[in-house]
A and B are shown apart, each in its own frame.
Chain A
């Protein structure tokens, strides 16, 4: 039951992303061709809502369920990892039209071949973990 509430959150997110067509490869192609506002609208309204919500939690106006102020961790200032890792991720995102959250939604939608996709993404994560010390951060 403690974990069930997270499934409800995930359900709402997955359902919404499906209905918003954010899981669509063609929507991603459209976005990278700047041919519609749709995906930008999703991300922009998401970020604008997110900024407001984050500020509410940061300033302690809203406490967490445990009754404390949520602690946000500042991202480390290792620039190369964001530039290189971000570019590699973006290439995968555009190649497939799918990002790491959407692959779970698509798997659930009945495209069972995404089991291989997720397995390959795990392998990619493993490769990063294995070679982490030699990669520039």
Chain B
């Protein structure tokens, strides 16, 4: 596969007339060649490879005995996978909605000529610089049912306060939401703040001269003009949600039982520790499908927009 890609690349350069070509003519292609090869092989080639594996009965080592859609059938009959998928729905949905809401509100609040804006912005955004593993470790301690927030509230006088979501199979997925929102909402705020700063000032002044209140101005004029930012934030957040792996690994390790598994954790567990390569590959392909379902319309509209400019 490696050789073919390299051959295709050299064939693309017009090597037929070597005498007429200066160094500068093939230099750009030569410089791009390593990236072209790795992209074709390590992105598209591997995608196809994983797709092929998902149609085989590979267990500990890849084998190439094809079994049709058996692995997919097994996957959707697998309770752990269905839990992971529905967790992704709950986690992704809440994570995206809360982040968008907080991000927009905080950006609007910060856009009111706040005196210490720089410092506050830095504080809102710093969790984004931290690894999800660190975030998970920190929140595992904060949400600890005996020693964490629960104990603090009891000491503060709320004696019946109970907060044991981390060990409750029905509630544990909300712990993931809390930690992920803490990490990513500041980033959404930064996106919207950048967007707000780009809104045409004249338009706002005109609206206010017409007697529009500040709330109307935001609702009717400013927020609608930020539609592209909404779109980008939505794509980035859903992408983070679908790829979420490290947060679960650090915060809950999928537990209690497998009640807080996400698809990425399911895939890793089956492909790397439970010797179910075929099943793992099938779950990876479903994840790819989810991402493409979001991405393709987005890229399509982006590229069309660029052409209109």
User: Do A and B interact with each other, yes or no?
Assistant: no
Binding site for A on B (CB under 8 A): none
Binding site for B on A (CB under 8 A): none
